[in-house]
Structure 1
């Protein structure tokens, strides 16, 4: 295949989509003599955000891991970045855009991974009549929750470009189709109602979407082998898969081998006419491995036990905070519990100070110039505040708060 085959359609000046790709919700300040592109600025803004830092203590597959070599969410997003960069660089796409999408694509993951997401989905549906899913929550976090100090020291929203925001909210959905093509139209990204509803707006977003799958399948198998949770019969099944698609032994079906083979196949198969695509053989392999992982890893009994524990943690934090609601006097009501739950009350009060209409914004020297998200006279807004606060937590912080709630 010819290297750089997509260079005439990548997200760069001259592309008909370019102006929309680099558009921001509002104008952003410029530093003198800044040499960065718009997407490089987005990458840095995400990298320096607190949500990115928290990914190092968020579940990828194995909850609240204390094993130094087991994958966490921060390692996963960097794997996605590395895979995306290799593919985009070979195909002639914009690597700065793929880097920014990749590093930001999972910022909205709840603590305890999809288990935390499932409980918050139930709360949002029953209490707010809306939907919660981590891709949409990632968009919410980069648009509304995460801030950085501007050139005057004022905290303001990240205000990322449309192409990066689009790649974040459109990154998920299973890749069972033979190929991915970017959609033609740009629209309000909050009109996306479910994962996989539509393809990304750019070729680069399509690359990240597939790189997400390449990055996690082999890495999750590596962790399962490291933690010795696969039985002898399951290891034999892995050997059978290796022999069916090549000559790899179970111990050789690791992240390095799988990522390399998938990347090479994708680069050799993809073209502007065919889309971002695997060969039929490798599409079958990715689906076989995905089925193996779901059956023997993601539904493992040890994970099932921790799921029940994780659900109890999140439910307990939610209910405790819900009991503290008292309309515009909520901050005063929460203060009554400061001696009982000092860490919880302080951290959640700080959250309300930053994002609600009542709090530090009224103080002299206020530094918060980000969007107001919650009007505390409205109970729905308060519930949304709890959901946002919990979804931003790390596994370890959620456990710390749960222990504080349950300790006398």
Structure 2
């Protein structure tokens, strides 16, 4: 939300245009960081309360708590959340198949379970035409995504008044029909037990934790003590779009979080290697 609001405010300087609705639709947890508690989930920092309040007031979002700020979700948040739930789960299954974490039969069984017996029979007939196994899995994956989109759309429309009044609880995916709901639940269980805990995935997470923690530690130290020679070298690497040289320490730390959270995996790994002297430019 921080990054996008800054881009929104700078739209007249050549940035792209974002509407208030777009900004509100990405805030899954529409409350201030001071209300995060032990869950550590929030939609905006205390420093962004004024910006979100302006957006929420303009859009007529329901105010649940005034100090600190807490609002009911914008209705479009439910659709964004559903898209996230659907795509990540299905793509994780297909990626696990490509990485040979799941066998062809396991993958087909997981994806077929979303459909009625009649629909499953139709899919099997399609496999007689589409011989390539990878194409079969891709076809199944896209078919499941289509089904879940239709289901979540139905739930959204069925509960439209609750969503608009701010009384709807949970996510759309948790209200879909029994068969796809059971299949989705099983997919999540398989992902947790077999995909996310596989050795290859855990090795990548271990490496990622080391990379991110190192970058955070070094960058926080740099903005805390910007007068140090090494700190200046790190700070000078940061793009001017980040308020890394703010006179306020809180804002400099936020800039570090924005900078690192916006890194791609490849960029973060490359920077980590350079800092550690494992990757240097040719002299």
Q: Cα deviation per residue 1:208-266 (whole Å; 9 max; x = unaligned)? A: 2222222222222111112212258xx44862673585436795473211112223334
Q: Structure 2: where are the runs of 5+ without partners?
A: 31-38, 40-59, 125-132, 163-171, 279-283
CA distance in 2 between counterparts of 1:245 and 1:218 reads 15
Cα gap change, 1:186 to 1:167, in 2 (>3 Å): farther
CA-CA distance at 1:283 after TM superposition: 2.4
Counterpart of 1:290 (choices 164, 185, 188) is 188
CA-CA distance at 1:385 after TM superposition: 2.6
What's 2:5 paired with?
143
Instruction: Report which structure shows greater RCO (CA 8 Å, sep ≥6).
Output: 1
CA distance in 1 between counterparts of 2:156 and 2:242 reads 46
**Could you tell me the TM-score, scaled by structure 1's length?**
0.45
CA distance in 2 between counterparts of 1:389 and 1:316 reads 14
Cα gap change, 1:273 to 1:318, in 2 (>3 Å): closer
What's 1:163 paired with?
21
Report how many aligned residue pairs link the two structures. 221
CA distance in 2 between counterparts of 1:316 and 1:326 reads 15
Matched, 1:209 2:81: yes
RMSD of aligned C-alpha atoms?
Answer: 3.9
**Could you tell me the TM-score, scaled by structure 2's length?**
0.61
What's 2:277 paired with?
407
Query: Which segment drifts farther, 266-275 or 304-313?
Result: 266-275
Q: Structure 1: where are the runs of 5+ without partners?
A: 1-138, 174-182, 193-197, 339-343, 359-373
CA distance in 2 between counterparts of 1:315 and 1:273 reads 42
Within 5 Å, give how 1:311-322 maps onto structure 2.
311-322=209-220
Could you tell me whether the CA contact under 8 Å between 1:217 and 1:255 is conserved in 2? no
Could you tell me whether the CA contact under 8 Å between 1:170 and 1:209 is conserved in 2? yes
Within 5 Å, give how 1:51-200 maps onto structure 2.
139-144=1-6, 148=10, 150=12, 154=13, 160-170=18-28, 185-186=62-63, 191-192=69-70, 200=73
